[in-house]
Amino acid sequence: MDYIDHIAIQVKNIKKSTKWYVDNFKCKILYIDDTWAFIEFENIKLALVTKNQHPPHFAILDKNLKIDKNTVEHRDGSVSKYIQDNDKNFIEIINYRD
């Protein structure tokens, strides 16, 4: 069964927004650079992204993701591709390589 891995929201300043979430909630920084941050809550992860790097989206973990021309490898070693639903919402299909 697939499940929601994370939700991504766009922010203006990655470091400032990450600090706000860490200061206000009990979450852990998994990754941070100037273009995106990945923070983990007890039940889900939140990606903070810049407008020029990623669309706002939610991600579904798919351990059987097929690698094709639309699949991209990310800095953290994950692979994913974006699809859109009937209403043009972005959904990232993601797999973390073991």
Superfamily of domain 3-96: 2,3-Dihydroxybiphenyl 1,2-Dioxygenase, domain 1 (3.10.180.10)
Mean pLDDT for the chain overall: 91
* Percentage of the chain lying above the pLDDT 90 cut: 69
pLDDT on residue 37 = 94
Per residue in 50-84, pLDDT (tens digit) is 988 888 999 999 988 888 898 988 877 789 999 99
Q: Is the pLDDT of residue 1 over 70?
A: no
Beta-carbon contacts of residue 4 (< 8 Å; ≥ 6 apart): 44, 58, 59, 60, 61
- Check if the beta carbon of residue 92 is closer than 8 Å to that of residue 82: yes
Q: Where are the domains of the chain?
A: 3-96
Whole-model pTM over 0.85? no
pLDDT on residue 83 = 93
